[in-house]
Chains A and B, each alone.
Chain A
């Protein structure tokens, strides 16, 4: 009777925004992004990519509870010249390019393996 909706883990609720931002009131150049209906898949990916950015002083994420389908990602940058949102955009772009690169790598690797191992086989 009180079971959560089957779609609760991946469909946004009515009026819910995908990403929210709360600037930190105590720490300068810092803020928390909330990604609704996301989990460790995206959380850890973004955190690790942000940590590779020399302009980022702090990046950490948390998933408050297994039944709360959101992650909080906190970012602090080195200077007021760079907003947390800028570093986040850059991180997402880098990951998107990395994924593009992976798609070509996988396609090429599969073709290469098939050329070497199943020459002449039909339908593969």
Chain B
């Protein structure tokens, strides 16, 4: 007997690096699975192995390798401008048939910055100042894969550097390396995590008991409005009735003061609440922000694909068990 649900999705806003949407007509187990997959199981590309030819910088090899690993790497499918799902384009390196590595399972980045060489070409006012090696100095061998230097143009305009800084070089210092990036998931290491934020909150159900509210004076209603640190209630300009504000769902987090305020206004403690705020069990407001490795909407779609593949795999494994 099928018990299938048909959830609904409503997008609130989309930017390349962030998406906010409402998931409804399902329960927390689905909302939480989606959140957990976005954080830990959506595959991305990150630098996993670094071979040094020369490092005379102040940071040691391991330290630089760690910093390189944390740089978000973006795969942009051909003909697209979005940070896409690398799942279709790459093979996990442990599953690849090649001996060591190949273009199907890895991307190579070359970095070669020599302070003395660069210094000659710098403008006079910058000459001899420390030189910042950034993600812009990483040269990819795959035109579809590059470091995500900035999330947006605003962020780029505010930055002091050309990209994500890796290390600063002084006179005589030289950094030369080859970095190998691979596809992975953040269950292995959080450098593969595509999201900076992936959260959901419960939709608040704000019920205003009009009959009870009619017993209140204007001052008392105003007091209830002011009891909420974020103003989720307001007075209707014409009728002076209490109403919930339009974007109350963004703000209704703390409502204990509202409870206290109305307890004090009740004639008898057993009287009905004037305003009740409870959380919905089947409606969730999601907020997802990307690290830059993928567009936020692609993270969501990729998470659903991961879930779908997992369930199909488990279905086949359970079927095997029955024989």
Q: Which residues of A contact B (CB under 8 A)?
A: 6-7, 9-11, 17-21, 33, 35, 39-42, 44-45, 47-49, 52-55, 85, 88-103, 105-110, 112-114, 117, 123
B238 within 8 A of A: no
User: Is B62 part of the binding interface, using a Cβ–Cβ cutoff of 8 Å?
Assistant: no
Enumerate chain B interface residues (CB-CB to A < 8 A).
1-11, 13-14, 21, 26-30, 32-33, 36-37, 40-41, 81, 94, 185, 187-189, 297, 300-301, 304-305, 307-308, 310-315, 317-322
A44, B29: Cβ atoms closer than 8 Å? yes
User: What is the predominant secondary structure among interface residues of chain A facing chain B?
Assistant: helix
Is A92 a contact partner of B185 (Cβ separation < 8 A)?
no
Contact A92 B321 (CB under 8 A): no
B interface secondary structure, majority:
helix
| B residues less than 8 Å from A96 (CB atoms) | 308, 311-312, 315
25 CB-based A-B contacts, threshold 8 Å: A7-B94, A10-B41, A19-B314, A19-B317, A33-B318, A42-B33, A42-B310, A44-B33, A52-B3, A53-B3, A85-B321, A89-B322, A91-B3, A93-B2, A98-B7, A99-B304, A99-B311, A101-B7, A105-B8, A105-B9, A106-B9, A106-B304, A109-B9, A109-B21, A113-B11
Residues on the B chain within 8 Å of A93, using CB: 2, 315
Taken together as a complex, chains A and B put the C-alpha atoms of A10 and B28 apart, in Å, by 23
Please, how many angstroms separate the alpha-carbon atoms of A107 and B301 in the complex? 8
CA distance A109 to B20 in the complex (A): 11
